[in-house]
Chains A and B, each alone.
Chain A
Amino acid sequence: MALELKAITKRVGQVTHVKPTDLLLEPGHFNVLLGETGAGKTSLIKLMAGLDRAASGQILMDGQDVTTLSPQRRNISLVHQFFVNYPHMTVFDNIASPLKVAGMARSEIQGRVEAAADILQLRPMLHRRPHELSGGQQQRTALARAIAKESKAVFLDEPLANLDYKLREELRDQLPELFAGRGAVVVYATSEPEEALLLGGKTALMADGRVTQFGPTARIYRNPQNIASAQVFSNPPINLAKASVSGGMAHLGDAVSWRLEGNAAGLPDGSYDVAIRPNHVTPVQTGGATVPLVGRVLVTELSGSESSAHFQFGADTWVSLAHGVHVFRVGADHTFHMDPSKCFFFGADGKLAA
């Protein structure tokens, strides 16, 4: 089973929600759609699920054109951010609902529902109603429905967004193994870069209604092919500045410059956009972080064991993120250090140059 999108688009009135998109999604690993709210993740999922009609392009499942097929004839499942269950049915009936509609035999329904309930630890709750369950159990019921249905494609649209922190981590750890070996294409939409990294598999980065990059998650994290991809796959937001390169040296404004090394060494002279993730801009000098940057501290934040500082650097606001507790004086200048080997250079066309 593979799900293939060919130049698919979606328009509502004059507004384009999904720009021409090609994707080949395969089973055996998670396919993460990563993008900010409004990037088009849900629009794309609705197209794949058949809840919306594409304006143009094709959707193929196993090579078969399903572009105009209704959702129930595509054999898919969708788990929402909200906990969507039938309020007046027990957990058992909720999990069984798609099987009943399909007219399956009672004994087979029983078996499938119980198997799914076992995987998701819902056995003791089968006779309760959704409102008697916690949020995590309600969402597990929705997941169990997807599993019992044994659909060819499962779409998870920010399924953990409404759960509290602990439940989210717990369920996120379970998710990949839940769907492992089922042969279904699993698509997982999220707005959090960390989730994409944790779930592994492949990631499609989405911005402004288009997929900016698609590939194995770790690889595209290390090699964003364009500025948009670099921006999507960074939290806090990636630091951006105009840089000029001349004679093997990079210059950020007048004050900061460094010698280009590694795969940036051969970069032709010219002006570039340089991007560096906040965790490679540190408040103190470390092994790789050798290039000093002086900036006025605007806002500081401590979260858990991480310190972040927003600072004014030239015309831009940059963020530094480091382990441990660092104390900054807000309003005062501080010398940060960045790791030049972690810089991405984007050419005038917005594509990665080095």
Chain B
Amino acid sequence: MKTQNQKAWLFVLPVLLLVAFNAIIPIMTVVNYSVQETFGNNVFFWEGLGWFEQILRSERFHAALGRQFLFTALVLVIEVPLGIAIALAMPRSGFWVPVCLVTMALPMLIPWNVVGAMWNIFTLPDIGLLGYFLNHTLGITYDMTQNPVAAWVTIITMDVWHWTSLVVLLSYAGLVSIPDAYYQAAKIDGASNWSVFRYIQLPKMKNVLTIAILLRFMDSFNIYTEPFVLTGGGPGNSTTLLSIDLVKIALGQFDLGPAAAMSLIYFAITLLVSWLFYTLMTKDDAR
């Protein structure tokens, strides 16, 4: 006979509390702002879904969203293949393994605002190592504070430098977990390097790659600190990504209502894309 009571709820309570303070309450605060208008002094006016409508129709939001998708797409298109390529080229055993791993991990250990500051100084046309070299040694006009293309090249390069390592390390972990027997079987079949990659390494790396791409998508889509420190969204609005625009609206213009509505839309997009991607990747439930 089974005992029927409500004790189970007690066991769920700690997690519920944690999630409440960690996620639900902060989000509900934002939801609260997103449907009201305030001019400070704790005075609120009901606004309904007006802010959402305004944000979704706003040219400025569309532009920032477009830049955000462009940034994330470029970053993924460069970092994922590059990361896999570096992981494939790394030694599987011997003295150089720890050297490579530590070298790879270094960029990820640097605080994000320091990364922004580093690349800012690095690329200054007159005193930065790279900026000076490009402008004065190679004679290429390069100034990311003036030229949008230069600014984009710089933030993409910075992100690639900062985060390709994540893809490398995860791919590498997937690669070293493949038993030698697979490579031997391929050798006996006479399979080409491409076949080994396509039919052994890639399928065996699929799980870690899914996680790597997911993490890189979320991080790059939500990126704030590095481009803020590096370009501040400029020149003009050319590198004003979603998060930078959001902070401008919330803190610069103190438009709390529209900023809150925008946060929720931003959050929903991140969630939706992540969910779609993960569902697609794990659909056939293959190893």
Contacts and interface: CB of A to CB of B under 8 A. Distances in A.
Contacts of A97: 189, 191, 199
A78 B286 contact: no
A49 interface: yes
A76 B187 CA distance: 11
Given A51-B184, A78-B185, A80-B185, A88 B286 contact: yes
B279 to A, nearest CB: 19
B187 A51 contact: yes
Contacts of B188: 49, 51, 71-72, 76-78, 98
Interface in A77-96: 77-78, 80-82, 84, 86-89
B203 A88 contact: yes
Contact of A88 (B181, B189, B199): B199
Given A80-B181, A131-B286, A86 B187 contact: no
B200 A82 contact: no
Given A88-B203, A89-B199, A82 B179 contact: yes
B190 interface: yes
B163 to A, nearest CB: 28
Contact of A82 (B181, B195, B203): B181
Contacts of B287: 87, 131
A53 interface: no
Nearest to A82: B181
A12 interface: no
B182 interface: yes
Contacts of B179: 82, 84
B204 interface: yes
B199 A98 contact: no
Nearest to B190: A72
B239 to A, nearest CB: 40
B201 to A, nearest CB: 11
B204 A98 contact: no
A46 B187 CA distance: 12
A70 B184 CA distance: 11
A76 B179 CA distance: 20
A71 B188 CA distance: 5
A245 to B, nearest CB: 50
Contacts of A89: 199
A98 B191 CA distance: 8
A101 B189 contact: yes
Interface string A102-132: 1000000000000000000000000001010
Nearest to B200: A86
Contact of A71 (B187, B195, B203): B187
Interface in B188-230: 188-191, 195, 199-200, 203-204
A80 B184 CA distance: 10
A87 B203 contact: yes
B286 A87 contact: yes
Nearest to B284: A129
A308 B181 CA distance: 37
Contacts of B203: 86-88
Interface in A155-202: none
A82 B190 CA distance: 20
Which among B184, B195, B286, B287 has the highest number of chain A CB atoms within 10 Å?
Answer: B184
A102 B190 CA distance: 8
Nearest to B199: A86
Interface in A131-153: 131
Contacts of B189: 72, 97-98, 101
A82 B204 CA distance: 15
Nearest to A78: B188
Contacts of B185: 78, 80, 84
A101 B182 CA distance: 16
A46 B287 CA distance: 28
Contacts of A86: 199-200, 203
B207 to A, nearest CB: 11
A87 B202 CA distance: 10
Contacts of A71: 184, 187-188, 190
Contacts of A101: 189-191, 195
A98 B203 CA distance: 19
Nearest to A146: B188
Contacts of B187: 51, 70-72
Nearest to B182: A84
**Residue from B182, B190, B200, B203 with most neighbouring chain A CB atoms (10 Å):** B190
Most buried by A among B182, B187, B188: B188
Nearest to A155: B188
A187 to B, nearest CB: 14
A129 B287 CA distance: 10
Interface string A53-78: 00000000000000000111100111
State the 9 A-B residue pairs at the shortest beta-carbon distance, nearest first: A72-B190, A88-B203, A80-B181, A98-B189, A87-B203, A71-B188, A84-B181, A84-B185, A86-B199
Given A71-B188, A88-B199, 9 more contacts: A51-B184, A72-B187, A72-B190, A73-B190, A78-B185, A80-B181, A88-B203, A88-B286, A131-B287
9 contacts: A46-B184, A71-B188, A72-B187, A72-B190, A78-B184, A87-B204, A88-B199, A88-B286, A101-B189
